Amino acid sequence: METRIGFGFDSHEFKPGVPLHIGGLALDHPEGLAGHSDGDVLLHAITDALLGAVAAGDIGNFFPPGDPRWKDADSAIFLKLAIEELEHAGFRLVNVDTTLILNAPKIGPIASEMRARVADLLGVDLSRVSIKAKTPEGLGLDHVAQCHAVALVERVPEPEELKSITAEIEAEPPLDDDVVEDLLSSVHGSPKKRVAPVYDTEDIT
């Protein structure tokens, strides 16, 4: 089974008068995380970890901070896009582990609720989501929230039916060039002559 790993990091500054969103939850706190979106540092780090696992760029590529559409956006949208990118690449999430670094509010008492919310947003079992928190001891970053996230992903196995079709196609002998030329000349009259495709330009505008 092919597995990949992705890493994500994010950081936001606390600002008075802004609602605080972490892990998809609205938290009761006098300050929130400043950002163009809702500033959800945890969801942003997980989004980047998922995108990173399939080398699909980062959150800023998909949602540029200058784009007015993402002003105060719910970060669950970013996470949803990352899951779609993961699925598009043929992978699914195995587990995600995160570490929040912030002075306040204390995450311990709400960690279970936060895990449940993130697991729900990711569409995985609770046991696949880990949320840990530390204070920024000695970093001088008491007014900042940071988050590190790692995600393990695995390739979605091909369904048995598809597998046998693929094996059949691969087992077919390659086409003989002479046979192809003969076939083409029987259609076009000459082995060198090719009929240019005709496009109806009105249909492709």
Residues 35 to 94: which contact Mg ion by CB under 5 A?
Answer: 44
Restricting to residues 91-150, name those near Mg ion by CB under 5 A.
none
Nearer to Mg ion, 44 or 91 (CB): 44
- Please report how close the Cβ of residue 101 comes to Mg ion at its closest, in angstroms: 14
Judge if the upstream peptide bond of residue 105 is cis by omega within 30 degrees of 0: yes
Residues 112, 96: Cα–Cα separation, whole Å:
15
Stretch that binds Mg ion, among 6-14, 84-92, 104-112, 134-142 (CB under 5 A): 6-14
Task: State which residue has the least CB distance to Mg ion.
Answer: 44
Shorter beta-carbon distance to Mg ion: residue 60 or 191? 60
- The CB-of-128 to Mg ion minimum distance in angstroms stands at 23
- Closest contact distance (angstroms) between CB of 74 and Mg ion is 13
Q: Using the minimum distance from each CB to Mg ion, give the nearer residue, 91 or 131.
A: 131
Dihedral of the alpha carbons of 165, 168, 170, 175, in degrees to the nearest 10: -120
Q: Would you say 9 or 103 has its CB closer to Mg ion?
A: 9
Contacts of 143 (CB under 8 A, 6+ apart): 13, 14, 103
Please name the residue ranges forming H helices in the chain: 41-53, 59-62, 76-88, 111-122, 160-171, 177-188
Q: Are 51 and 34 in contact (CB under 8 A)?
A: no
In whole angstroms, how close is the CB of 8 to Mg ion at the nearest point?
A: 10
How far is it, in rounded angstroms, from Cα 192 to Cα 182?
Answer: 11
The count of residues interacting with Mg ion (CB under 5 A) is 2
Whether the CB-CB separation of 165 and 29 falls below 8 Å is answered with no
Asked if residue 10 binds Mg ion (CB under 5 A), the reply is yes
Residues interacting with Mg ion, by CB under 5 A? Answer: 10, 44
